[in-house]
A and B are shown apart, each in its own frame.
Chain A
Amino acid sequence: AQTVTQSQPEMSVQEAETVTLSCTYDTSENNYYLFWYKQPPSRQMILVIRQEAYKQQNATENRFSVNFQKAAKSFSLKISDSQLGDTAMYFCAYTDGGATNKLIFGTGTLLAVQP
């Protein structure tokens, strides 16, 4: 069965600094999709960034980028120039992209950006 592991329950970073959140996963599939979702205090889950496993190039979205290591089954999120609004719970998620798109989540990392 596929699993997603986030080993950092909480992290803290100073405003304007860079922080990296870790995620590892386990799957026997060759083609799949990985996501980072953000859940701010408002509770609304928002997609931050997406990576297709068949793409070697790491995805980037403005200040957010990933380091996708397929062989190591690692998918970390880097946030550059951290802002106070980045304070949130961050979830790593996996789907094999089949017809049901069943989405499996990690346990989350609570990120606090300090002024």
Chain B
Amino acid sequence: DVKVTQSSRYLVKRTGEKVFLECVQDMDHENMFWYRQDPGLGLRLIYFSYDVKMKEKGDIPEGYSVSREKKERFSLILESASTNQTSMYLCASSPGQGGANTEAFFGQGTRLTVV
């Protein structure tokens, strides 16, 4: 089975801290994604990566950056955490071939609270 693992299930950080959210997948997927989930807003794409060291902005990249140094790991970085970044963060991965292999697999989510 595909496994996408996020480093923390719950996280509490202080305003202004630099925060790292880590995500690891074990299926050699090319694509990895970071979403933010808020009530009434669904899942909004922050950043995605289709290859090592490659990244593209999603719909809400402001205040975030990402790193993908290895194929299996995709990190989301909050440079200076703010209270409006309190949210649920979901990582996902998918194969890069397109076509029928378009299913995305998700981690269990990290609920981040910034105080």
Contact = CB atoms under 8 A, between A and B. Distances in A.
Contacts of B92: 45, 103
Contacts of B100: 52
Interface string B73-115: 0000000000000001010101110111011101011000000
- Give the interface size class of chain B: 20 to 34
Nearest to B103: A47
B104 A91 contact: no
A75 B31 CA distance: 25
Contact of A44 (B33, B43, B94, B106): B106
B6 to A, nearest CB: 10
A97 B106 contact: no
Nearest to A108: B42
Given A43-B88, A44-B108, A100 B31 contact: yes
A103 B96 contact: no
B43 A99 contact: no
A68 to B, nearest CB: 15
A85 interface: no
Contacts, number: 61
A97 B108 contact: no
A101 B42 contact: no
Contacts of B48: 100, 102
A106 B35 CA distance: 13
Contacts of A47: 103-104
Most chain-A Cβ atoms within 10 A of its Cβ — which of B50, B58, B98, B108? B98
Contacts of A98: 98
A9 B39 CA distance: 10
Contact of B56 (A95, A100, A103, A106): A100
Nearest to A107: B42
Interface in A34-67: 35, 42-45, 47, 50, 52
> 9 closest A-B pairs (Cβ-Cβ)?
A107-B42, A45-B106, A105-B43, A100-B50, A43-B109, A97-B98, A101-B94, A33-B102, A105-B42
